[in-house]
Chain A
Amino acid sequence: MSEDHQEKRVIPNSRMARLEGFGRNLGADGYVFRPYHISDIKDAFQMAREAGMQITLRGAGRSYGDANIGSECIILDLCRMNQIYSFNRKTGEIDCGAGVTIEQLWRTGMEDGWWPPVVSGTMAPTLGGALAMNIHGKNAFAAGTLGEHVIEMDVFCPNGDIRTLTPASPLFSAVISSAGLLGVITRVKLQMKRISSGDLRVLPISCKNWEEQFAAFEENRESADYMVAWIDTFGRGEQAGRGLFHAGFYTQEPPHSPTLHPDHQDLPDTILGFFPKSVVWRFLKKFNNRFCMRMLNWAKHVSGRLLGNGRPHLQSMVGFSFLLDYVPNWRRAYEPYGFIQYQSFVPEEFAREVFRQMVEMQQVRKLESFLAVMKRHRSDGFLFSHGVDGYSLALDFKLTKKNRAAIWQLAHDMNGLVVKAGGRFYLAKDSTLRSEDFVLSVGKEAVAQFFRAKRELDPDNLLTSNLAKRIGLDAPGG
């Protein structure tokens, strides 16, 4: 063997595992370590140096693409750093490890009237992962992204520093949103949101087309606390953009409302009281094809028009927020080739036209998204922020043996529309973005700033991921 790697450290083969992003469309083999203390993280970086390897950070593995996988890298799975250090029931400040999940947050705070300020569509993500991606929720137009609610956080930097960053720190807005490529968030102090009831008043509005969808968002923007719309991508012509808009409003209850009890919040494990949800994905899989999804989308649209349209009803916070947790293992309905989620963010003035063109593109190529969701956002100051003062459209595309290249091409073509409109992409969801489109979306200055921070915090370029390699954030020194 040549002498240049004679001194390197060997990492036990038994640590090797195949990891995938949540969409199961991209996978990679890596050496998995699960630290539970900051000293383990330090050891892992030392090991990486000695073995000549890079490190990829992973939380709950809920990023859809390749942000949480790194080929032949050491994978630091931070889920075990899930201790809640303190929770102030009066002020709603919670201090916890980065492996604490959104579920732990709401279960900790709910009975005392505190709810996580921003939640994703599933309660599984860890805080560290959620901040690396700077997640948003259905309240993005009002509450912004999760990073806006962080009071302070500890970051282990590959250069050996452990820094406590606050919103006033220059690196705060770079570490949050940069996909875990600048440092390991190990502790987070977060401001929870005060609530008095565990129920939301939910107003469903059936919309005939894009016009009505956008009108519903703008009409409710001032008063609603949450807004989301489901879009039937099979709707054409006058009916393009049809779907169902939901606005959620906090409700008021006297102190110690029973709606705040976990029992009231927990999602049922059966449908209609008898059909176990655990097997639902098997049925979904049978119907997970273009014809059935066209019918299902149409049926949902029609039922939305006929049932409950414009009539508000109460729904638990958990039920409204964590739609993706309703059907356990739902992603298995996309087996064996997985799916991609494509979410783009477009400024308000162009959103209508860009989304219309995107859906038309899908229809012409017979590659309609089986599930499309629209949300309203606001801009923020984070480095690789996806937040724009406008709208996002999230699209699920099923991958088959034959359509992979066509789906990637469709995504690249849609990226062109987004970039032209000054839009952004969401690294937590992305599987297809090319580095040139990424740079165009965030701007050259943001990328330069990233590499300046990288040189300071991670001069040896130890932190990487397959996403970083794909979108050009892995090059040492930029």
Chain B
Amino acid sequence: MATPKFKRAIVVGASSGIGRELTIQLAKQGTSVVAVGRRMDRLAMLAESADGRVFPLQHDVTIYDSVPLAFQEATKMLDGLDLVIYASGVMPEVGFHEFNFEKDKAMVDVNLLGAIAWLNLAAERMEQTKHGSIVAIGSVAGDRGRSGNPVYNTTKAALATYMEAIRNRVARHDVKVCLVKPGPVATEMTANLGIKNAMPVEEAATKILKVADKNGEFYLKFAHRIAFFIVRNIPSWIFRRLKI
């Protein structure tokens, strides 16, 4: 096997969806991966199928106090760290007229605060060690505040801003900070939303790993780059009249 691009990686949110697929593909490339997630049974199954390269670590990203120890344990299991991917995310179904703080808080807790708790540690460490990549899974949904799911948009927009800020802090130390903005991807999270033309999760993960050692924000489709350039630049007084 050729030398993998990353020798040691942590994937947070590895029990399902994009995180799970990223873990599988990294392990196939020869990367040792600590798979972090809440559902230990799923992580254990993932580890079993991965030829000894995946190490499960049970952890709830919303128990923020436990993140430093989980991070320390993960880096110890790996004997180092080259890549951290934050892939945890929730997107509960929110009605058009629904303002539900519980659902909103859950999204902020997982999508944003969990990311900050994990990636602060990654950035702090990599600033000192002067190597490594930090990847977060954002979303095209973060490009504008849309009427459908305000707080999901908010968390992904905030995540993008956070990633830009830590990029500006640590890129000078040879650390890569990469935000990926997938459009709809066929995962459990989107299964009940009736989305057509969702990108297969395998394809999304492959594309994410291609840019994981680069600085910047990345869409996974060229068409998204064009479309969301336009979306980002539609004046607000027009945007509020559109149903997108």
Residues of A within 8 A of B (CB): 1-2, 5-6, 8, 10-11, 13-14, 16-18, 28-29, 51-53, 71-72
Q: Is B105 an interface residue (CB 8 A)?
A: no
Q: Evaluate contact between A72 and B76: CB separation under 8 angstroms.
A: yes
Contact assessment for B130 and A1 in the assembled complex, using a CB-CB cutoff below 8 Å: no
**Interface residues of B, dominant DSSP:** helix
Q: Is the CB of B66 within 8 A of A29?
A: no
Q: Is B131 an interface residue (CB 8 A)?
A: yes
Who on chain B is nearest to A28 by CB? B80
A29 and B124 form a contact (CB under 8 A): no
Q: Are B63 and A13 in contact (CB under 8 A)?
A: no
A8 to B72, CA, bound (A): 10
Task: Answer whether residue B187 sits at the interface, using C-beta atoms and an 8 A cutoff.
Answer: no
Q: Can you show 16 pairs from A to B with CB atoms below 8 A apart? A: A1-B63, A1-B66, A1-B69, A1-B70, A2-B40, A8-B73, A11-B72, A14-B124, A16-B124, A16-B129, A17-B129, A18-B128, A29-B125, A51-B72, A52-B76, A72-B78
Residue B202 lies at the interface, judged by CB distance under 8 Å to chain A:
no
Q: Closest A residue to B63 by CB, please name it.
A: A1
Chain B residues within an 8 Å CB radius of A71: 79-80
Contacts of A52 in B (CB 8 A): 76
Assembly CA distance A6 to B72 (angstroms): 12
Residues 34-71 of chain B, each 1 if its beta carbon lies under 8 Å from chain A, else 0:
00000010000000000000000111100100101111
Complex contact A10–B68 (CB within 8 A): yes
Known contacts A13-B68, A13-B121, A72-B80; decide if A1 and B59 are in contact (CB<8 Å): yes
CA separation between A18 and B78, bound complex, in Å? 15
A2/B58 in contact, CB under 8 A = yes
Note all chain A residues with C-beta closer than 8 A to B75. Answer: 29, 72
What is the bound-complex CA distance between A16 and B66, given in angstroms?
19
Among A1, A5, A6, A8, max chain B CB count under 10 A is at: A1
State whether A8 touches B69 (Cβ < 8 A): yes
Task: Evaluate contact between B69 and A72: CB separation under 8 angstroms.
Answer: no
Taking A2-B57, A11-B72, A14-B124 as known contacts, 13 extra A-B pairs with beta carbons closer than 8 A to each other, sorted by chain A number, are A1-B66, A5-B69, A6-B69, A8-B72, A13-B121, A14-B128, A16-B124, A16-B125, A18-B128, A18-B131, A29-B125, A71-B80, A72-B79
B136 interfacial contact with A, CB 8 Å: no
Residue of A whose beta carbon sits closest to that of B76: A72
The answer to whether B83 has its CB under 8 Å from any CB of chain A is no
B81 interface residue, CB < 8 Å from A? yes
Are B58 and A29 neighbours in the complex by a CB distance under 8 Å?
A: no
Which B residues are in CB contact (< 8 Å) with A29? Answer: 75, 80-81, 125, 129
Please state if B60 and A1 are interface contacts (CB–CB under 8 Å). Answer: yes
CA distance A293 to B113 in the complex (A): 56
Shortest CB-to-CB span from B182 to chain A, Å, is 28
Measured between alpha carbons, how far is A51 from B121 in the docked complex, in Å? Answer: 17
List the 4 closest A-B pairs by CB distance, nearest first: A18-B129, A71-B79, A10-B68, A16-B128
Greatest chain A CB density within 10 A among B70, B72, B75 is at B72
Chain A min CB distance to B127 (Å): 9
Measured CB to CB, the closest approach of chain A to B78, in angstroms, equals: 8
Please give, as numbers and ranges, the residues of chain A lying within 8 Å of B40 by CB-CB distance: 2
CB distance from B54 to the nearest CB of A (A): 16
Partner of A10, one of B58, B59, B72: B72
Docked complex Cα distance between A409 and B79 (Å): 25
Q: In the complex the two chains form, is B60's CB within 8 Å of A17's CB?
A: no
- Nearest-CB distance from A1 to chain B (Å)? 5
Specify which chain A residues have a CB less than 8 angstroms from the CB of B63 in the assembled complex.
Answer: 1
| Nearest chain A CB to B183 CB, angstrom units | 33
Task: Using known A-B contacts A1-B66, A1-B69, determine if residue A13 contacts B80 with beta carbons closer than 8 Å.
Answer: no
Q: How far is the CB of A58 from chain B (nearest CB, A)?
A: 16
- Asked whether A10 lies within 8 Å of B79 as measured between CB atoms, the reply is no
- Chain A residues with CB under 8 A of B129: 16-18, 29
